[in-house]
């Protein structure tokens, strides 16, 4: 697939607008991120396969649908990815969690890995890599490559905002990995920030600026 799946649900769009506003407080930003990530998670899991399982209600036996296969893995690209995790885990509390520590070298804009921890059996699970901002896509491409190197073969990428340049580059690097995002903005600036964007997602959620 190429391009990205834009999640146009009115609640997602409304919350995203408040998050973009520079007047929104750290506390407000964090709360909205948790809320919006639940909605994004709902969309990224919309087509998960189901199996029928025999259960007994108080009235009768029935064949009822349940999620098929092993538990999902949410792979958070540190640190900003953690802002998406909380709301996603509220919706899918049984999900396993992987952490991928990458930071962006401010000079080269290239990702540098400093941490990786994931469940062993990634090859048997759907892995949803999460990072709020798909900007240059360097970190996202490296994070997805990392989970693939550890065996993942069914991967999706979920973000809040994307730049067209990032979407194109990611699609080229990982054509088998669909992108889900709440919006694709106008462009990247010379510092690798998404414009109009929302600023630095990590700083906005942790109040570090």
Residues contributing to the annotated binding site for 5-phospho-alpha-D-ribose 1-diphosphate: 79, 104, 131-139, 200
Our CB check for ligand URA shows the closer of 124 and 165 to be 165
How far apart, in whole angstroms, are the C-alpha atoms of residue 184 and residue 13? 12
Output the CA angle 120-112-174, nearest 5 degrees: 65
DSSP β-ladder status, 96-104 and 111-117: antiparallel
Please, is 98 exposed, middle or buried when counting C-beta atoms within 10 Å of its C-beta (0-12, 13-18, 19+)?
buried
Binding residues for uracil: 194, 199-201
- Per the CB < 8 A criterion, the answer to whether 4 and 185 are in contact is no
Question: Least distance in Å: CB of 194 to ligand URA?
Answer: 4
Binding residues: 79, 104, 131-139, 194, 199-201
- Which parts of this chain interact with ligand URA (CB under 6 A)? 80, 133, 135, 192-194, 197, 200-202
Question: Least distance in Å: CB of 193 to ligand URA?
Answer: 4
Our CB check for ligand URA shows the closer of 133 and 182 to be 133
Our CB check for ligand URA shows the closer of 19 and 92 to be 19
Tell me which H or E stretch contains 19: helix 10-20
Catalytic site residues?
Answer: 104, 108, 200, 203
């Amino acid at each position: 697939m190429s391009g990205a799946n834009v999640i146009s649900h009115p609640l997602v769009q409304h919350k995203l607008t408040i998050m973009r506003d520079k007047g929104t407080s750290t506390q407000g930003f964090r709360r909205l991120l948790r809320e919006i990530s639940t909605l994004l998670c709902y969309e990224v899991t919309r087509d998960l396969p189901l199996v029928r399982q025999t259960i007994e209600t108080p009235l009768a036996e029935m064949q009822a649908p349940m999620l098929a296969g092993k538990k999902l893995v949410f792979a958070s690209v540190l640190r900003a990815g953690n802002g998406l995790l909380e709301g996603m885990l509220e919706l899918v509390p049984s999900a396993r969690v992987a952490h991928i520590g990458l930071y962006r070298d401010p000079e080269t804009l290239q990702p540098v890995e400093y941490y990786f921890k994931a469940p062993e059996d990634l090859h048997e699970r759907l892995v949803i890599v999460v990072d709020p901002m798909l900007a240059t896509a360097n970190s996202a491409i490296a994070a997805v490559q990392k989970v693939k190197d550890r065996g993942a073969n069914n991967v999706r990428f979920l973000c809040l905002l994307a730049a067209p340049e990032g979407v194109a580059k990611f699609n080229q690097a990982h054509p088998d990995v669909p992108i889900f995002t709440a919006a694709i903005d106008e462009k990247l600036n010379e510092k690798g920030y998404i414009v109009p964007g929302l600023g630095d997602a990590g700083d906005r959620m942790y109040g570090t600026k």
